[in-house]
Structure formats: structure tokens, C-alpha cells
Structure 1
């Protein structure tokens, strides 16, 4: 993560180095790659892309069923929940 976080921050600022970001990787799932699917497909035109879209309420309910969020003062923990 120490290497990839600055690279993803550069991508967010509009200066992506996709080859550096994906050096040593063959795929991406979920965030943050899903935010750049058009750009990634442009850079890697032979890539296979599976993009799914869900309504926000259904997604939130699913996340809340999967994870239990605990709050203590200004700290948050995400603990595995029941599938």
C-alpha cells in the first residue's frame, strides 16, 4: 500500500501512471479501480471489464449485513459480520 497509495492519489489528480499502478498485478476489483474503468479500458483496450451497478440503498443494506460497524469516540472499527 505504501507504493500504490501515492500512485492512486496521482490518478485522482488526473495524472495516472497505470503501468506503475498495476506493476505486478493482473487485475483490479472494486475501489479505487472501479472509478477509472473508462480510463483503464482506454489504456488497456484488450482488458476484460465487468462493471456492475446497484442502487445505493440495496448496496448499503448489503454492506451493513456483511459488516458490523463499531464506534468509540472518534474511532471506527469494521468487524466481519454474518454473511
Structure 2
């Protein structure tokens, strides 16, 4: 496989929907899900890349035809250099419609922290306790 489609947009700009669409069209996709859910890529790869360690993008992206999200927007120069023939999709959103004041951020964070504490009884990292909540 070789990378054919490359998305350079940030997260929260429709990347999940774009991933689903690309996969329906037959383009297996590298997305944050590969790291978080499937554990297909070691997250230290990106930490190493951030610190300037050379990354073999061809090796790490060999199972996909498309790429988006973290690798897409942050490492776009390196990946485009490695795959100059890939088509590029840029996703965006209206920043005026998705902008929070510092006060809203603090309130949202406080609400989220309270909900997580209530729902998981501060045991979110306890797998068995979390499974009981989810069942």
C-alpha cells in the first residue's frame, strides 16, 4: 500500500466522518483511533518525531491509503515529502462558531471533572470499576 489521500486538518473538523467515508471508499485510514483504540502505533513515535528523531513514515503508514488527524496536521511536511503524489484534503471549521472564553473553558473543565468523578467514583483508571459503570 502507499498513501494516496492525506488530510491536513485539525481534529474536531470532521475527521471522524472523513475517516469513515474514506474507508467506505476503500482507503484504509490512519487516524488517532489507530493509537487510542487499536494500539496499532506506539504513541512514542510521535513524541520521538516531535523531538526531531527521524521517522520512517513509509514503515509506519504501510497499512493505509489515507492519513488524518494528529499525524495529518502536525507532521504534514514530513509526510508530504515522503508521499508527494498523495491527494491532500484540508478540513476546517469556522473559528467564530467554535470558540470558548477562558471562563467557559474553566466551567466546562469543572463540569467534566465532576461528572467523571461522579460516574466513575474516581475509579476511571480502574478497569473493573469502569466496566461496572458501563454495564
- TM (norm. structure 2) is 0.39
How far apart are residue 42 of structure 1 and its match?
1.0
Q: Give the alignment of 1:24-63 within 5 angstroms.
A: 24-60=63-99
Select which of 53, 59, 63 maps to 1:20: 59
How far apart are residue 39 of structure 1 and its match?
1.9
How far apart are residue 31 of structure 1 and its match?
2.1
What are the ranges of 5 or more consecutive residues in structure 2 without an aligned counterpart?
Answer: 1-34, 101-110, 125-135
User: Which one has a bigger Cα radius of gyration?
Assistant: 2
Give the root-mean-square deviation of aligned CA atoms. 3.0
Say if 2:112 is the partner of 1:70.
yes
Q: Counterpart of 2:44 in 1: which secondary structure? A: helix
**Relative contact order (alpha carbons < 8 A, sep ≥ 6): 1 or 2 greater?**
2
- TM (norm. structure 1) is 0.57
Q: C-alpha offsets along residues 18-52 of structure 1, whole Å, 9 cap, x if unaligned?
A: 12221212211222321122221111001111123
Which structure has more strand as a fraction of its residues?
1
CA distance 1:27–1:59, shift in 2 (3 Å): farther
Matched residues, number: 69
